[in-house]
C-alpha cells in the first residue's frame, strides 16, 4: 500500500526527461512546425524554409513558469519543442480549470490573433523548450504559402475537436470516466513520439493538477485513482501509471478514438 501513487511532480518530469532524454535530444533542434505539418503532407523546399523562417528564436522555461497570463494583453505565439505545457483559467473562488495540455509540436497562444486580452494562462508543467513564432511572418505565410495556411487551418481543427471531447467528458462523465479519459489521452500523446509505448505513463501531473484538469477535487482524484487501481484498470507505482486494460478504460471514459485522417483534397496547390 505504502509507496503507491507517489507522483511527486518534480520527480515525474525528471523521470520523463531521463527515460526519454536520448530520443528527445535527437528530435530537438529540428523545425517543430515542419515536423508537425510533415505528418500530413509532403513539404517542398520552399515550404520547409518558410516554416523555419516563422520560428523566431527559442526559449526555455522552468516548471511552474508562466508563459502568458490571463491578465496580460496577449503576447507571443509558441510551438512546444520539448516538455509539457498547460493552459488554465482561474476562477473567482481560487479554483482552477486546466483547459488543455500541450506537448511537442503543439501551437499555443493563437488566441492572441483575435483577442486583446488572453483567455487563459499558459504555464510550464515541466521544464520546457518552446520556439517563438513571429506573428507578421505567420501572416506572410498566408500570402506566400496558401497550402501551408490551409493545412494550418486543418490542424487547428484537431485542437478544436479535442476541446469538444473534453467538453463531453466534463459535462457527462463520472469521476472515473474523466480520469480514464485523461489517462488515455496522455497515453495517445506519448505514442505520437514513442509509438512503442506500452501504456506506461510517467505522469507529469500532480493529483491536484489532475483534479484541475478534470474538474474534480484532489482528494476525489486520489480516491478515484485508487478505484481504477482496485478495478484492475491501471497499476500505479512510484509516479508511473500503467494502463492495464485500455479497452475497458475507453469504455468507462466514453472514449472515441480519433484518427487524424485528414481529408486534404481541398488544399490549394503548393507554391
Partner DNA sequence: CGCCCAATTGAGCTTCCTCAAAGCTCGTGG
Partner DNA sequence: CCACGAGCTTTGAGGAAGCTCAATTGGGCG
Residues that bind DNA (CB under 7 A): 1-11, 174-176, 206-208, 215-220, 222-226, 236
Compute the least distance from the CB of residue 237 to a copy of itself, in Å: 29
44 binds a copy of itself (CB under 8 A): no
From the list a copy of itself, DNA, none, pick the one residue 25 interacts with, judged by a Cβ distance below 5 to 8 Å according to partner type.
none
Angle at 186 between CA 246 and CA 101, to 5 degrees: 150
Beta bridge partners of 101: 86
Interaction residues for a copy of itself, span 96-135 (CB under 8 A): 96-97, 99, 110-117, 119-120, 135
- Please report, to the nearest 10 degrees, the dihedral formed by the alpha carbons of residues 77, 193, 265, 33 taken in order: 30
C-alpha to C-alpha distance for 16 and 10, rounded to whole angstroms:
10
Compute the least distance from the CB of residue 180 to a copy of itself, in Å: 13
Name the H helices within 90-217.
135-144, 146-172, 175-193, 207-214
Binding mask 135-174 for a copy of itself (x = CB under 8 A): xx-xxx-xx--xx-xx-xxxxxxxxxx-xxxxxx-xxx--
Report DSSP state, residue 80: E
Residue 66: half-sphere exposure toward Cβ, Cα within 13 Å: 12
From the list DNA, a copy of itself, none, pick the one residue 38 interacts with, judged by a Cβ distance below 5 to 8 Å according to partner type.
none
Local structure of 9: helix, strand or coil: helix
Compute the least distance from the CB of residue 243 to DNA, in Å: 17
Binding mask 56-75 for a copy of itself (x = CB under 8 A): ------------------x-
Report DSSP state, residue 112: G
Compute the least distance from the CB of residue 50 to a copy of itself, in Å: 13
From the list DNA, a copy of itself, none, pick the one residue 60 interacts with, judged by a Cβ distance below 5 to 8 Å according to partner type.
none
Amino acid at each position: 500500500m505504502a509507496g503507491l501513487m507517489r507522483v511527486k511532480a518534480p520527480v515525474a518530469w525528471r523521470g520523463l526527461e531521463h527515460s526519454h532524454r536520448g530520443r528527445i535530444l535527437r528530435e530537438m533542434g529540428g523545425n517543430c512546425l515542419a515536423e508537425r505539418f510533415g505528418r500530413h503532407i509532403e513539404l517542398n523546399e520552399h515550404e520547409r524554409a518558410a516554416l523555419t523562417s516563422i520560428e523566431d528564436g527559442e526559449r526555455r522555461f522552468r516548471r511552474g513558469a508562466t508563459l502568458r497570463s490571463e491578465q496580460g494583453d496577449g503576447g507571443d505565439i509558441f510551438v512546444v519543442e520539448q516538455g509539457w505545457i498547460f493552459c488554465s483559467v482561474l476562477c473567482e473562488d481560487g479554483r482552477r480549470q486546466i483547459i488543455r495540455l500541450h506537448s511537442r509540436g503543439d501551437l499555443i497562444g493563437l488566441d492572441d490573433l483575435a483577442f486583446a486580452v488572453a483567455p487563459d494562462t499558459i504555464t510550464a508543467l515541466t521544464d520546457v523548450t518552446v520556439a517563438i513564432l513571429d506573428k507578421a511572418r505567420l501572416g506572410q505565410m498566408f500570402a506566400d504559402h496558401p497550402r501551408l495556411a490551409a493545412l494550418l487551418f486543418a490542424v487547428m481543427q484537431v485542437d478544436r475537436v479535442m476541446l469538444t471531447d473534453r467538453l463531453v467528458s466534463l459535462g457527462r462523465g463520472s469521476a472515473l470516466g474523466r480520469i480514464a479519459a485523461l489517462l488515455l489521452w496522455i497515453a495517445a500523446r506519448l505514442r505520437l513520439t514513442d509509438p512503442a509505448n506500452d501504456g506506461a505513463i510517467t505522469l507529469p501531473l500532480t493529483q491536484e493538477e489532475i483534479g484541475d484538469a478534470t474538474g474534480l477535487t484532489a482528494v476525489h482524484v486520489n480516491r478515484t485513482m485508487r478505484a481504477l487501481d482496485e478495478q484492475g484498470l491501471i497499476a500505479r507505482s512510484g509516479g508511473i501509471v500503467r494502463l492495464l486494460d485500455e479497452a475497458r478504460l475507453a469504455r468507462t471514459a466514453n472514449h472515441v478514438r480519433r484518427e487524424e485522417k485528414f481529408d486534404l483534397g481541398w488544399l490549394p496547390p503548393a507554391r
